Structure 1
Amino acid sequence: MEKTFNRVAEAVAHATGRPWAFALCLTSVLIWAVSGPIFDYSETWQLVINTATTIITFLMVFLIQNTQNRDGAAIQAKLDELIRSGHGKNAFIGIEHLTEAEVDRFRSVCAEAKGKKEVPPK
């Protein structure tokens, strides 16, 4: 189930990020707007666009959040591996799981270390 959802979420996120998807949505809104006089700008006419956009937005939130969570986790794993294999401090591995105050302390330490570094001559 999870793999299927991930594949669908990735495919939908990829497709909706394309120019043709925007053009399709824009065309739909324009057709709806032009049809206003035909339907005498009725409540049903308004309800159609309102309901459609609400449902699409509701579903897209979950799909986009899923892809962002996976992308963020993948980037974090890559950064952790770079720290492990390079000259970075291993203490930074996993800091995304700390509290905001703990992360702020890490940032302060980094800012102090950056300020103490000498700038190489040109």
Structure 2
Amino acid sequence: MKHLFARFATKISEWAGKPVIFILALTAVIIWAALGPVFDYSETWQLVINTGTTIITFLMVFVLQNAQTRDTRAIQAKLNEIILTSHAENRFIGIENLDEEELKRLDELVAKAAKGRGETEACRVSEDLKAVVPKKEELRKRRASAKPAKQK
């Protein structure tokens, strides 16, 4: 069932992102607006567009979120592989699990290092990173505690 929904979500998100679908949606709104005088701008006339757009939006949130989450996980796995096979700091693996404050601090430190203030500055920033980015063991513990326990 999971694979079926994943394939469905991927196809729908690809389909919904096409220009022709936008044009169809715009055409539907134009037709609805043009029918306003025919229906004397009644509450039913307004309810048609409100109900239709609400239902479509509600369902698309779940479909698009599923597709985006899978894409994000795939990108994260690729980035982790690049980190592992390069001379990059392995501590960056799993930083997506940091809290907002830790990510902000890490962003500041990386931006500081990117300014290229010489090797001494880069070494100091690398040491600062070790203080901000938890070790892999700590990240594993965080992930394990964040996952709900499986019910038997």
- The answer for the alignment partner of 1:116 in structure 2 is 117
CA distance in 2, matches of 1:26, 1:41: 19
Moved over 4 A (4+): none
Which digits, 9 at most, give the CA deviation of each residue in 1:75-107, with x for residues without a partner? 111000000001111011001011122223333
**Does 80-89 or 104-113 show the bigger shift?**
104-113
**Displacement of 1:113:** 2.8
- The answer for the alignment partner of 2:92 in structure 1 is 92
Amino acid in structure 2 at the alignment position of 1:67: A
Show structure 2 runs of 5+ residues with no match: 120-152
1:12 lines up with 2:21 in the alignment: no
Correspondence list, 1:13-32, <5 A: 13-32=13-32
Correspondence list, 1:22-101, <5 A: 22-101=22-101
CA distance in 1, matches of 2:60, 2:118: 45
Amino acid in structure 2 at the alignment position of 1:34: A
Identity percentage over the alignment?
Answer: 57
**How many residues matched?**
118
**Greater relative contact order (Cα < 8 A, sep 6+):** 1
**Displacement of 1:31:** 1.0
